[in-house]
């Protein structure tokens, strides 16, 4: 996702989520949230914006074929390996969102 799309997602999110909540959920300071919001962040804000999307966004799971959020994704990854979950387990092992 492009930086502009990530920024738009972040600005839209700020309409429903308090900046303090976003800061706590992403591990960044409220100052960083404010600086990025106001275009005053001195560095490259892409990593911050990617963190916001990782926590609040939804993406297509290549195995489930549905949009999932971070909580659903982590729940799938946390399930133990079993014969019935071989494909999901293998997909999760290769996923860029794997933590």
Q: Could you read off the pLDDT of 14-72 as tens digits, one per residue?
A: 999 999 999 999 999 999 999 999 999 998 999 999 999 989 999 888 888 899 988 88
2 shares its domain with 46: yes
Is the whole-model pTM more than 0.85? no
SS3 (DSSP) at 98: coil
6 shares its domain with 47: yes
Q: In angstroms, rounded to a whole number, what is the distance separating the alpha carbons of residues 95 and 83? A: 20
41 shares its domain with 89: no
Number of domains in the chain: 2
Q: Do the Cβ atoms of 94 and 87 come closer than 8 Å?
A: no
Structural domain including 27 reads: 1-57
89 shares its domain with 62: yes
**3-class DSSP string for 54-85:** HHHCCEECCCCCCEECHHHHHHHHHCCCCHHH
φ, ψ of residue 23 in degrees (nearest 5): -60, -50
């Amino acid at each position: 996702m492009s930086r502009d799309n990530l920024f738009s997602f972040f600005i839209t999110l700020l309409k429903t989520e308090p900046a303090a909540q976003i800061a706590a959920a992403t591990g960044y300071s409220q100052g960083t949230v404010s600086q990025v919001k106001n275009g005053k962040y001195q560095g490259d804000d892409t990593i911050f914006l990617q963190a916001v999307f990782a926590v609040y966004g939804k993406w297509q799971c290549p195995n489930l074929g549905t949009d999932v959020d971070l909580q659903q994704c982590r729940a799938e990854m946390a399930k133990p390996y079993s014969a019935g979950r071989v494909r999901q387990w293998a997909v999760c092992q290769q996923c860029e969102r794997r933590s």
